Amino acid sequence: MTDGISLQRADPLGTLSGRALTLTAAAAIVLFSLVFMVAAREDITDWPAAIVGLVCAAVTAILLVIMSSPKRGPVSRGWAVWVLFFGIAGHLASVVSYWPAAPRVNDWGPYVVAVLLLALVPYRPIRDILAFTAVLSVWVVGITIAQESVQGGAVAGLAAVMAVTPVLALPLAGAAFVMEILRSVRRWRINVLTAAEDEAQRREAEITRAVQETRVGILNRDVVPFYSELISRNKLEATDAHRAAELAGAIREVMLADTQRSWLDELIAADDDRQGGAIRTGVRDPNGLARLMNLNQRTALRALINTLREKPGGGLVGVTLHTVGDGCEAILAAVVDGHRYRIASRLRPYLAVMGAVFSEFSYEIRADRLTVRFCYDRP
């Protein structure tokens, strides 16, 4: 099924690249409202209502810009409802400003509602878009019929059909396009996961052999010399038992530490000699929460950390993980170099993916420090 996930979650980089269209839609909303209001200024009977409608359109445009910001996580249903609420309020105010005039071609309310629905298509699941479209279509038809009931029209219902046509056409066309993209992304991900599984099975023997060689190296370094000395002496001394216990304890500690290390520990090694008081590097994960991240979350976090460590002035990265209620919360701190806006622009693709795969996400850049907070569920 492709109607249960938004394009923003399935393809965050594609949605980020297409944010220019969202900003264009926000500007178009204000432009439609202003141009149509000026064009029909002679028919306006209530100027305060007209100004309220224009303000509502401007607020809607501002909300679109804010909600699509890559600094925020995926757009929630609440945000979408607020955007549509101000769009409906603007439509109602525009109708009141012309009342009791009959519906006209240059009524900007239906066009604004249509553009709003189209702008929301990449950010909400298809089923939400269809539900919003159905509700707002009923609203537009009801308002238009109420206008017609006062003044009448040449053909009954024609104005309602003309008003609701863009409200239906734009979001439904956008939804069909997004559904096709989601199907393509789903097929691509299935192929990638299959290839990754095949590669993992192929390398399983190599990984097992590498672990065995590591264990043999520990034995050759510490245990074999000890037993060789015993054989050469051909007798036991009082200190041999103590030495044997020390070797056994040391080997047990090494093997235990290896079993407790996660993929995140392998990715981030503590860098005590370069800390300089900026941040505490390494991973603090006493409960082993890093293992609970899914493949998408691990991939996104790995990409961000690798980018931070490779950039000039970077390299110092620390991650702290702890439980919060039924979920997990992580704080990533990193030393970054450069102006905050340049850093944000450089890291925006990685942060956009992080925001799409984690349930809660936020970041902050102050001076030479980046702090990223993200949450995920425990299975």
Judge contact between 360 and 354, C-beta under 8 A.
no
Residues whose CB falls within 8 Å of the CB of residue 136, separated by 6 or more in sequence, listed in order:
84, 88, 113, 117, 167
Residues of the chain where predicted confidence (pLDDT) is lower than 50: 1, 272-276
Among residues 190, 213, 235, the one where a domain terminates is 190
Could you tell me if 279 and 334 lie in one domain?
yes
Q: Which two structure tokens, joined as six digits, stand for 330?
A: 């992580």
In a domain, 196, yes or no: no
What pLDDT is attached to residue 102? 64
Could you tell me if 253 and 270 lie in one domain?
no
In a domain, 1, yes or no: no
What own/partner pairs with CB < 8 Å and gap ≥ 24 does 215-218 have? 215/255, 218/251, 218/254
Cα–Cα distance for residue pair 10/142, rounded to 1 Å: 36
Q: Which two structure tokens, joined as six digits, stand for 361?
A: 């996400």
Give 219-271 as a DSSP string. IIIIIHHHHHHHHHHTS--HHHHHHHHHHHHHHHHHHHHHHH--HHHHH----
Could you tell me if 38 and 178 lie in one domain?
yes
What pLDDT is attached to residue 44? 81
Residues whose CB falls within 8 Å of the CB of residue 68, separated by 6 or more in sequence, listed in order:
19, 22, 23, 75, 123
Q: Residue 254: which domain range?
A: 204-260
In a domain, 197, yes or no: no
| pLDDT, tens digit (0-9, with 9 covering 90-100), for 280-298 | 678 888 888 888 888 788 8
Size (the chain), residues: 379
Among residues 135, 163, 190, the one where a domain terminates is 190
In a domain, 18, yes or no: yes
In a domain, 323, yes or no: yes
What pLDDT is attached to residue 169? 92
Could you tell me if 272 and 301 lie in one domain?
yes
Could you tell me if 117 and 173 lie in one domain?
yes
In a domain, 333, yes or no: yes
In a domain, 195, yes or no: no
What own/partner pairs with CB < 8 Å and gap ≥ 24 does 244-247 have? 247/222, 247/223
Could you tell me if 249 and 349 lie in one domain?
no
What pLDDT is attached to residue 251? 66
Could you tell me if 269 and 293 lie in one domain?
yes
The stretches of the chain forming alpha helices (DSSP H) are: 7-10, 12-17, 19-39, 47-67, 77-98, 109-120, 126-151, 158-218, 224-233, 238-260, 263-267, 295-310, 340-357
Could you tell me if 121 and 251 lie in one domain?
no
DSSP 76: P
The CATH number assigned to the domain holding 350 equals 3.30.565
Short-list 3, 8, 12, 99, CA closest to 47: 99
Could you tell me if 86 and 149 lie in one domain?
yes
Burial of 28 (0-12, 13-18, 19+ CB in 10 A): middle
What pLDDT is attached to residue 326? 83
In a domain, 69, yes or no: yes
| pLDDT, tens digit (0-9, with 9 covering 90-100), for 94-111 | 888 887 766 666 678 888
Could you tell me if 239 and 273 lie in one domain?
no
Could you tell me if 52 and 179 lie in one domain?
yes
Cα–Cα distance for residue pair 10/187, rounded to 1 Å: 12
Domain count, the chain: 3
DSSP 331: E
Among residues 214, 233, 260, the one where a domain terminates is 260
Residues whose CB falls within 8 Å of the CB of residue 181, separated by 6 or more in sequence, listed in order:
7, 10, 11, 14
Could you tell me if 274 and 223 lie in one domain?
no
What pLDDT is attached to residue 67? 87
